[in-house]
Each structure stands twice: as C-alpha cells, then as structure tokens.
C-alpha cells in the first residue's frame, strides 16, 4: 500500500499530486514534461518536495510537516531507469549483486539464482551490459532492482528504449512479471498502449495535476476531459447545458471512433457535429478519419465503404444508445486561492535557496579542512629527514649562494675546505647573480654570498643583507670563435669589419654589461661606426656565459665574448681564444660577503677567510683567474 | 577517376609526416646515442645524480599524493555541482598550465617568500616555505596539479548522474557509490591525469629554481641537476637527461599497460558473452 502527496514548484507550473496505490500497478501517463518523472524521483527521494509525504505500508519515507526525509539509499525501493542505467564496468552478475553485497554468501547465492531464473538470465550471467539487447538490459535492470526485495517498484518509461518490433513482446512479459509481484508498482509512460497493458490503474497527468484516475476501461469509457480523450484515442465533446433549475452545467458526451456515423449530408441523430477531414489513416478493415470542426474527432469507417477524401466537409452523428453522456466530475480540486498559493511559492523559494546555500557551505568547508590537514601533515611530518642531508655526528651545514661564473673554483675550494674541516658541510647554489640576489632577499638561509659584480652586492649592503664585502677573484674578457673560425676573426677590430653572427650576454647580466663597455671603449679609437656595426651583428643575447660558450663551440655563432676562465679544458678543443687589448678590456671582479641573516655567521667568516687566503686564491689561479691585487 | 595530382599530394603529405615525427623523436633519441651505455652509466654513478634522482622521485611522489588527495574532491566538485562562476573557476584552475613556470615561481615567492604575504606572517611561527624541500613539493604541486584536475574533471563529467541515482536506490550510500561506481568509471581519466601530472612534476624546473633554489641534495631535483651539470660537465648532463627520459618513458608505458589491462578484462568477458548475446528477444 503506497500513498503520497506532493507539491513542488517546477519551472512552468506547480506539481500537485495525491494518489493511493494498493499492491498493484499504477501507470502515470502524460506528455513529456508534465511532471510524471519528477513524481517518481520524489517517491525515490532523489528530489525533495516543497510539501507533502510518502507512506508505504504505514511507514513514512517523506513528511515535510514532520521534517522527515529518509535518504534514497534507506528507502528500499526498486528503480528501473529509462535506459536501464546498467553499470558498464560490471558484468550481469555483478550488476545484480551490486545492491546486496552486505548479505551472507548463501543468501546472496539464493537470491541471485532466484532472479536469474525469474527473468531468464541464466545464460547471460558473465556478459557485460554493452553486449546485451535492449530487452535483455531491461530484464537485468529489473533483476537488479528486485533482488534487493524492494517494498515499492518504480519504472521510468520502461519500454521507450526498445524498438517497435520487440516492444509488444516485452510489454506482455513485463505485465506478467508485474502481476506476479505483490508490491505496489508505479510505471511512468507517455504511451497509452503501454499504460493500458501494464497498469491496473491509470492516472492521467497534465501540467503537474492529476486529471483522472481509474481502470483503463473507466478511462476510455468516460474520459474526464478532451485532453484525456485525445490521449487514449477516443472522442469527447463538452456541451454547456441548462438543467431544470436553470443552473449552467457542462455535459460530457463520449463515444468511440467506431460508434459514430459520417456522411456528406446531415444525419438525423441525437448528437451531431460537422467538420473537415484533415487526415485519413488506414487501419486494416477500416479507415480512421481525423475530422476538424469546433474540435477534433476520430471516426472509423469500413474501408470498402469509404469514399471520403481529405478536405471533404462532413457531418458526424452519434445515436443516443451509443453515446455516453455524463456530468463533468471534478476529479481534482485545484481551485485553491491564488493569493495563498503565491505566498507559498515565495516561502518555498526562500527555503530552497537556503537549503542550497547550506549545501554549498558544507562542501567548501569539507574541502578547505582536507587541504588544511594535508598541508599541516606535510609540514610537520618528518620529511625533512628525507632530504638526503643525512649527516652523522655534529656536522654543521652551511649554504652558499654563488654566482655561476665561479662554479668550478668554488667547487674545488669547498671540497678542500670540507676535507680540512670534517665537521662542516657546505651546500652551494649556483645561479646568475640577479637570481641569487633575489633568493637572498626572499629569505634563502645562506651564510655566504658571492656576487659577479659590484652593483648587486652594493644593493644588498644597502638593504642590510650583507655588511662588509671583499674582492675574491679577478677575471677578464676574451673573444671566442669556433675552432675553424668561419668568419675569419683575428682581433677585436675584426668584429666591426667582418660579417659574423655575434653572441653576447644580455645587458642585465655582468658579462653583457662588460661586453658593451668594451665595445664603447674601442669605438673611441675604431670610429663611431664600430659600435653600430658590432651591435648590428648580434644574433642572440644570452643570460649566462655557458650558453654563449655552448653556442659558439657548437658553431651556432661566429664569435662571442666570455670570461677567460670560462673557457675550460672541455671547450678548449672546440673554440679559439682571442685576447682583447688591455686598454679596452674591462676587469670583472667577483665580490664575496658573509650574510647578516645567515644561521652560522662565525663559521661563515672562517670560510670566507680561507677563500681569501693564499690557499683559496691559489685555486682561483689554477683556474686561470688573474691575481686580485 | 584518379586525379593526376593525387600521388604528388600523397608524397608531400608523407614527407610532412616523416619530418614532423623525426623532429619530435630525434632530439629525444640523441640523448641516448651520443654516448655508449657504459659511459652513460659511469657518468650517472655519482652522488650528485643519485641525490637528485632520489630527491626527484621522493618529492614528485609526495606531490602526486597531495595532488590526488586534494585534486580529486576539487575535480568532482567542479564536474558535478552547477554554481554561478563554475566556468570561471575552471579557467582559473587551468591557468598554471599556460602560465610560464617562472611566473609560478615568482608568484609563490611573493606569497610564501620571507617578505611575502603569507611568508612574513608564518615566519614568526618559525615556519619557512621557500628554499627548502617543502618549497620543491609546493612548486611541483602548483605546476602539475591542473593536469590531474582537468583530466579528472572530464572523467567525472562523463559519468551520467543516473548511475549514481540508481546506485542509491539499490541501498548504497553516496560515499560507497563514489568508490564502487564513480571511481571505477572514471579510472581511465584519473590514471591518465595522474601520469601526466607526475610527468610534469618530474620535469618541473622553472618554478623550482625560482622558489626552492638549486641546492644539491636539498632542493636540486634532476632537471636542476641537469641544468647545473650543463654548466660544467655536459656529459653528466646528457647522462642525467637520458635517465630522466627513461623514467618518464617507463612511467608512460606503465600507464598505457594498466589502461590496457583494465580494458582487456572487459574485452575478454565481452568475447565470452558474444555467443550468448544472440539469445535475445
């Protein structure tokens, strides 16, 4: 026994339905969008009504007055979707067992065998849904729903996914199955034929309201409105009549298409109308005429007797004994006051908005807290130990930010220093001066800073990141050309004369600035055109010296300007060095300082002293640096 | 009738395809053929490369775990809830894919650096986010999470809501449904997303360099080690590049194989079912 009442504001109208169903099948019928699928979802708890209740066998599932709403998963209902919604990743057996996983193994087996035989699916147990025909899919969906022993079965357009040829067969099979169940079933369909076969009772729905409810026979005999009559394929005429007490009353006159007569001339019958034939369809032994007058009629005439053509003007007559005449019955009272209705809508809207906001709020809180917990865990778990800096004993680790041009000598010096002081480890980060300057400013925990030029370290001094700084190495620039020297460059002046692709540093890095200074100085002697010619031949500007070296050594450029010390053994076989006259050349000096915010200032000072000592300076000399004094 | 020009057009097309494929493959292959395997291995066999390798694998795995844990709810939320501004959030989430990693590095520094918005507040509590291991992971998560999220989002989107509804009518809670229906149906997209994301995290360079620095054994991941090695010893750099390529390739292969296997399982059963499927209405 199922009873329910729903009120819910939909987009174009309000759904307002109240029905009781015994342990039999109710077919909800109506055009698409009339609210019938919404009704199913309200029953299943997939949507919430604005107002109303659902009760099965005395148990309430939804009751807005008591603020009761049992979630879908606890309702014990079977729901067969329009296209069956079989899980594509599970086999037929797995699909059927999906809802009863929590049961004991023997019980599961028993139920599985039961539904498999009930729905003749034994042979398809291991097949996947994509391999099944429409009818088979429907049976699997039914089996999956029935195996949970639901107390209510809902079917949404169970036959619309099937093609015409299999449809009537499946329909009668489904009818047999529904009859064998002793639970209430609600079938939603837009097809009267489906409703007639499947439903013990039919409820016709239009614009969210129930227009008529009854057995299929009742409905076809006495349709409650022209809408119902049209839906079930019969004729209904509503006539205004006055009864003896001069009260106006609507009179319904219903008759089947085969109960009327048609003629080109007026017929002397009790009930008669006229109209034009708009369509003729042949249904075996008779033709069905669609006639349009004040309203439309469907009239059958025997095929052999039919002389009618489309467009003919005809008269329709029905004799008194054939016509069913009855007073209009108000099946549903939808005449509640409009004012209160509107107010209700407003209230409902408000509560819906609130509910939605509540949900959104819940989701965002969940996500935020998850993220927060994870970040927290990571920061405080022992991932620091994972860093690979697993030093035994009391080794102190210092960090140094070093301009990339000093990579090789500083690596050697660090190695030497660590060997001499086993309690100290030095991690060096090599990058362009601009980058390491930014890193220091942004809080890199470095003890030592080595700058490739004066301005950067002066800036840091002004900002208070370093205090005193010292010259640590001196270097000068040279021209390099590929070993085979394709542009035939032999001295600085040739850069302005010969057609060559030049590769120099970008003007924001020291090497680029020095190169431009050299060219400026030289153009005083070589003439103003020298600068213009040279700069016109620059094919690429690089952010560091190694890039210039790489490009020249691979022959991608004809000449470049780099520090002498950068031309290491590995490059010496690939490039040729051309010295720049001393009067034009620019000294490049690296400066070093202990940082003010580093964690180990004393040890850093000791290391700095070591670098500036003869031992440290010796390493620079080994790498062909010029003496600093 | 055959057009006179057809063979020529075919030839030009074939040439175009060959050139494009060559262009895509040859630079990658060159890393392997430029050195003998013995030499390659010798160059790799240094502490710096091992450190970088372990650091790369460790940090990317942690980053991946974070991405999956935090990215999955985000992806699901964006795919399944329809709120005002959903599209806007989607575009925002994809931003790290198109923005240069260096920009990401700058952004992270601005927020978490010592003088950054959050960094300056957090530094009072003794927490530091830049130039350490956390920073490496943060940079990787930042850069690679969008790959996972957008892939997962698409996967979740393709799952019809009716599957979730039918699962609930069968007495299975939303949470259980998520594990038993949503995840299996989305697994392909999730896996692809995770692989893309991991690959991107492994290769992450720009943001790491900016935000985490380049300290061997501490923040120097493989790509940074390659960059650094290129400045002094290009052979080591080549050897490390080969290693990184090899790892990425194995990763990609793994994903393809796992994807294949899950398909094979269904295919095998499908074939079995073929003969039975004839019995139909």
* Structural domain boundaries in chain A: 2-219, 234-327, 338-376, 396-472+596-622, 474-588
Is residue B252 included in any domain, yes or no? yes
- Chain A residues with CB under 8 Å of B128 CB are 443, 445
Q: What average pLDDT does this structure show over A453-473?
A: 90
Output the domain CATH number for residue B140.
1.10.3720.10
Q: A546 and B210: CB-CB below 8 Å?
A: no
Residue of chain A whose alpha carbon sits nearest to that of B63:
A378
Q: How far is B252 from chain A (nearest CA, A)?
A: 24
CB contact under 8 A, B281 and A133: yes
Which domain range does residue B240 map to? 48-260
Contact assignment for B217 to A388 by CB distance below 8 Å: yes
Among chain B residues, CA nearest to A446: B131
Structure tokens at A166: 């299999």
A442–B274: do the CB atoms touch at under 8 Å? no
Residue B281 has pLDDT above 60, yes or no: no
Q: Is the pLDDT of residue B180 over 80?
A: yes
Contact between chains at A370 and B277 (C-beta distance less than 8 A): no
Is residue B99 included in any domain, yes or no? yes
Among A304, A266, A270, which Cα is nearest to A287's?
Answer: A304
Residue of A553 and B69 predicted with greater confidence? B69
Note whether A546 contacts B: Cβ–Cβ < 8 A: yes
- Does A46 sit within 8 Å of B128, measured CB to CB? no
User: A91 to chain B: which residues are within 8 Å by CB?
Assistant: 269
Between CA A196 and CA A189 the distance in angstroms is 10
Flag the least confident range among A55-64, A240-249, B15-24.
A240-249
CB contact under 8 A, B77 and A46: no
Across the interface, whether the CB atoms of A131 and B277 are under 8 A apart is answered yes
B215/A443 touch (CB, cutoff 8 Å), yes or no? no
Q: List, edge to edge, every strand of the sheet that includes A324-327.
A: A235-242, A248-255, A324-327
Position B143 scores a pLDDT of 92
d(CA B21, nearest CA chain A) in Å: 24
**Residue of B170, B210, B223 to mutate, interface with A, max A Cβ within 10 Å:** B170
What residues of chain B lie within 8 A of the CB of A546, using their CB?
A: 230-231
Query: Is A127–B160 a contact, with Cβ atoms under 8 angstroms apart?
Result: no
Residue B42 lies in a domain: no
* Interface contact flag, B280 A441, Cβ < 8 Å: no
Q: How far is B246 from chain A (nearest CA, A)?
A: 23
Could A131 and B217 be called an inter-chain contact, meaning their C-beta atoms sit closer than 8 Å? no
Q: Is A177 on the interface with B (CB under 8 A)?
A: no
| Residue A575 and residue A483 in contact, taking contact as beta carbons nearer than 8 Å | yes
Chain B CB within 8 Å of residue A539 CB: no
Q: Confirm whether B126 is domain-assigned.
A: yes
Q: What's the rounded Cα separation, in Å, for the pair B61 and B40?
A: 26
* Nearest-Cα residue of chain A relative to residue B164: A85
Mean pLDDT over each residue of chain B, to the nearest integer: 83
3-state secondary structure chain B: CCCCCHHHHHHHHHHHHHHHHHHHHHHHHHHHHCCCHHHHHHHHCCHHHHHHHHHHHHHHHHHHHHHHHHHHHHHHHHHHCCCCCHHHHHHHHHHHHHCCHHHHHHHHHHHHCCCCHHHHHHHHCCCCCCCCHHHHHHHHHHHHHHHHHHHHHHHHHCCCHHHHHHHHHCCCCHHHHHHHHHHHHHHHHHHHHHHHHHHHHHHCCHHHHHHHCCCCCCCCCHHHHHHHHHHHCHHHHHHHHHHHHHHHHHHHHHHHHHHHHHHHHHHHHHHHHHHHCCCCC
Of B131, B181, B185, nearest to A443 by CB-CB distance is: B131
Q: How confident is residue B182, by pLDDT bands cut at 50, 70 and 90?
A: very high
Number of structural domains (chain B) is 1
Instruction: Assess whether the region A2-219 and the region A234-327 belong to the same CATH fold.
Output: no
User: Which pLDDT score is estimated for A179?
Assistant: 86
d(CA B113, CA B116) in angstroms, rounded, equals 5
Specify the CATH architecture of the domain A396-472+596-622: 3-Layer(aba) Sandwich (3.40)
The residue-averaged pLDDT of A157-176 equals 84
Q: What is the pLDDT of residues A247-270, one digit of tens each?
A: 666 778 888 888 888 888 887 777
Q: What is the pLDDT of residues A421-450, one digit of tens each?
A: 888 889 888 888 878 888 888 788 899 999
Q: Looking at chain A from residue 469 to 488, which residues have their Cβ under 8 Å from any Cβ of chain B?
A: none
Q: Which CATH architecture has domain A474-588?
A: 3-Layer(aba) Sandwich (3.40)
CB atoms within 10 A of CB A107: 10
Separation in Å, CA of B240 to nearest CA in chain A: 18
Per-window interface: A 121-160 vs B, CB < 8 A: 123-124, 126-128, 130-136, 144-145, 148, 154
Crossing angle of the two packed helices B133-157 and B101-112, in degrees rounded to 10: 120
Beta strands per DSSP E along A293-377: 296-302, 313-318, 324-327
- Predicted confidence at residue B232, as pLDDT, reads 60
Nearest-Cα distance to chain B for A348, in Å, is 20
Residue B14 — very low, low, confident or very high, per pLDDT cuts 50/70/90? very high
CA angle A20, A21, A27 (to 5 degrees): 110
Per-residue tokens: A396: 């102190």
Beta bridge partners of A505: A542
C-alpha distance from A170 to closest chain B C-alpha (Å)? 8
> What does the DSSP 8-state code read for residue A626?
B
Yes or no, beta carbons of B215 and A427 under 8 Å apart: yes
Q: List the single best residue of A146, A442, A448, A550 to mutate versus B (max B Cβ within 10 A).
A: A442
CA–CA distance, A153 with A184 (Å, rounded to integer): 6
More confident call, B43 vs B222:
B222
Q: In this predicted model, which residue has the larger pLDDT, A374 or B36? A: B36
Residues B137-148: pLDDT tens digits?
999 999 999 999
Residues whose CB is less than 8 angstroms from the CB of residue B103 and which lie 6 or more positions away in sequence, other chains included: none
Longest alpha-carbon distance in chain B: 81
Between A166 and A390, the more confident residue is A166
The answer to whether A186 faces chain B, any CB pair under 8 Å, is no
Share of chain A above pLDDT 70, in %: 90
Residue A385 is predicted with a pLDDT of 40
ipTM for the complex shown: 0.75
Confidence of residue B275 (pLDDT cuts 50, 70, 90): very low
Which of residues 62 through 91 in chain A touch B, CB cutoff 8 A?
71-79, 81, 83, 85, 87-89, 91
Mean of pLDDT values over B177-206? 90
Report chain A's mean pLDDT, rounded to a whole number.
83
Which is nearest to A387 in space by CA: B220, B184, B192? B220
Homologous superfamily in CATH for domain A2-219: P-loop containing nucleotide triphosphate hydrolases (3.40.50.300)
Q: Residue A335: its pLDDT value, please?
A: 35
* Per-position DSSP letters for A81-130, written without gaps between them: -TT----TTS-HHHHHHGGGTTS-HHHHHHHHHHHHHHTT-GGGTT--GG
Residue B215 belongs to a domain: yes
The answer to whether the CB atoms of A72 and B169 lie below 8 A apart is yes
Confidence of residue B263 (pLDDT cuts 50, 70, 90): low
Residue A357: closest CA among chain B residues belongs to which residue?
Answer: B83
In angstroms, the separation between the Cα of residue A543 and the nearest Cα of chain B is 13
Indicate which of B93, B124, B166 best probes the interface with A, i.e. most A CBs within 10 Å of its own CB: B166
| Chain A residues lying within 8 Å of B133, measured CB to CB | 383-384, 386-387
Count A/B contacts: CB-CB distance under 8 Å: 193
Token digits of residue B153: 């989002």
Superfamily holding A234-327: Nucleic acid-binding proteins (2.40.50.140)
Cα of B29 to nearest chain A Cα, Å: 19
């Amino acid at each position: 026994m199922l009873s329910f009442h729903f009120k819910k504001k939909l987009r174009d109208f309000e759904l307002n339905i109240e029905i009781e169903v015994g342990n039999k099948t109710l077919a909800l019928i109506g055009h698409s969008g009339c609210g019938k699928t919404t009704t199913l979802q309200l029953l299943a708890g997939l949507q919430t009504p604005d107002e109303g209740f659902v009760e099965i066998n005395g148990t309430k599932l939804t009751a807005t007055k008591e603020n009761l709403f049992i979630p879908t998963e606890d309702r014990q209902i079977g729901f067969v979707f329009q296209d069956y919604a079989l899980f594509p990743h599970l086999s037929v057996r797995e699909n059927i067992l999906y809802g009863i996983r929590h049961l004991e193994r023997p019980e599961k087996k028993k139920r599985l065998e039961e539904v498999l035989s009930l729905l003749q699916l034994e042979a398809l147990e291991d097949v996947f849904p994509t391999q099944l025909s429409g009818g088979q899919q429907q049976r699997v969906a039914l089996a999956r729903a029935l195996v949970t022993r639901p107390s209510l079965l809902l079917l949404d357009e169970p036959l619309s996914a099937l093609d015409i040829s299999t449809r009537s067969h499946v329909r009668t099979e489904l009818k047999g199955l529904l009859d064998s169940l002793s639970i209430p079933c609600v079938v939603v369909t837009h097809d009267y034929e489906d409703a007639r076969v499947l439903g013990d009772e039919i409820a016709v729905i239009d614009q969210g309201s129930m227009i008529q409810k009854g057995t299929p026979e009742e409905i076809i005999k006495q349709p409650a409105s022209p809408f119902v009559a049209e839906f079930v394929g019969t004729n209904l005429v509503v006539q205004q009549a006055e009864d003896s007490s001069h009260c106006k009353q609507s009179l319904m006159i219903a008759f089947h298409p085969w109960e009327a007569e048609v003629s080109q001339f007026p017929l002397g019958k009790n009930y008669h109308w006229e109209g034009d034939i708009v369509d003729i369809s042949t249904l075996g032994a008779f033709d069905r005429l669609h006639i349009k007058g004040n309203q439309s009629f469907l009239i059958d005439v025997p095929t052999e007797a039919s002389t009618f053509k489309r467009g003919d003007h005809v008269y329709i007559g029905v004799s008194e004994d054939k016509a069913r005449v009855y007073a209009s019955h108000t099946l549903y009272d939808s005449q509640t006051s409009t004012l209160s209705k509107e107010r209700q809508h407003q209230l409902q809207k408000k509560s819906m908005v609130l509910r939605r906001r509540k949900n959104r709020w819940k989701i965002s809180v969940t996500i935020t807290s998850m993220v927060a917990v994870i970040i927290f865990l990571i920061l405080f778990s022992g991932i620091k130990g994972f860093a690979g800096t697993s030093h035994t004993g009391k080794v102190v680790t210092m960090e140094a930010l070093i301009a990339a041009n000093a990579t090789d000598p500083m690596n050697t010096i660090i190695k030497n220093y660590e060997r001499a002081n086993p309690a100290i480890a030095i991690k060096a980060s090599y990058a362009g001066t601009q980058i390491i300057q930014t890193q220091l400013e942004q809080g890199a925990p470095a003890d030592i800073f080595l700058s490739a030029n004066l301005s950067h370290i002066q800036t840091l001094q002004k900002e208070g990141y370093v205090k005193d700084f010292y010259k640590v190495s001196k270097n000068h620039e040279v021209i390099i050309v590929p070993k085979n020297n394709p542009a035939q460059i032999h001295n600085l002046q040739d850069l302005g004369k010969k057609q060559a692709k030049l590769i120099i540093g970008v003007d924001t890095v020291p090497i680029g600035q020095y190169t431009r200074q050299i060219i400026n100085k030289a153009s005083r002697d070589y003439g103003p055109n020298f600068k213009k010619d040279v700069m016109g031949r620059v094919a690429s500007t690089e952010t560091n010296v190694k890039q210039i070296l790489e490009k020249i050594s691979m022959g991608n450029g004809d000449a470049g300007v780099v520090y002498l010390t950068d031309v290491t053994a590995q490059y010496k076989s690939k490039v040729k060095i051309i010295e720049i006259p001393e009067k034009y050349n620019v000294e490049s000096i690296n400066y070093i300082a202990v940082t003010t915010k580093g964690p180990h200032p004393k040890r850093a000072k000791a290391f700095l002293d070591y670098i500036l000592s003869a031992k440290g300076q010796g390493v620079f000399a080994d790498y062909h640096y010029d003496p600093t004094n | 009738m055959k057009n006179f020009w057809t063979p020529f057009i075919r030839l030009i097309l074939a040439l175009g395809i060959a050139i494009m494929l060559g262009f895509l493959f040859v630079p990658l292959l060159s890393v392997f053929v430029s050195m003998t395997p013995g030499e390659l291995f010798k160059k790799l066999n240094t502490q710096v490369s091992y450190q970088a390798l372990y650091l790369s694998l460790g940090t990317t795995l942690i980053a991946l775990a974070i991405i999956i844990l935090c990215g999955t709810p985000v992806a699901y939320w964006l795919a399944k809830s329809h709120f005002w501004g959903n599209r806007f959030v989607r575009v925002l989430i994809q931003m790290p894919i198109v923005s240069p990693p260096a920009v990401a590095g700058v952004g992270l520094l601005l927020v978490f650096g010592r003088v950054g918005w959050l960094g300056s507040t957090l530094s009072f509590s003794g927490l530091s986010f830049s130039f350490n291991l956390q920073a490496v992971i943060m940079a990787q998560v930042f850069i690679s999470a969008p790959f996972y999220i957008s892939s997962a989002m698409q996967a979740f989107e393709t799952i019809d809501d009716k599957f979730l509804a039918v699962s609930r009518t069968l007495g299975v809670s939303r949470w259980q449904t998520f594990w038993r229906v949503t995840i299996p149906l989305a697994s392909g997209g999730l896996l692809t997303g995770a692989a893309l994301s991991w690959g991107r995290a492994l290769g992450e360079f720009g943001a790491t360099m900016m935000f985490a620095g380049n300290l061997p054994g501490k923040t120097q991941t493989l790509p940074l080690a390659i960059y650094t090695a290129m400045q002094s010893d290009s052979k080591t750099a080549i050897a490390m590049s080969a290693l990184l390529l090899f790892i990425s390739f194995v990763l990609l292969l793994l994903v393809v194989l796992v994807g294949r296997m899950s398909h094979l399982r269904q295919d095998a059963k499908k074939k079995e079912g073929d003969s039975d499927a004839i019995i139909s209405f």
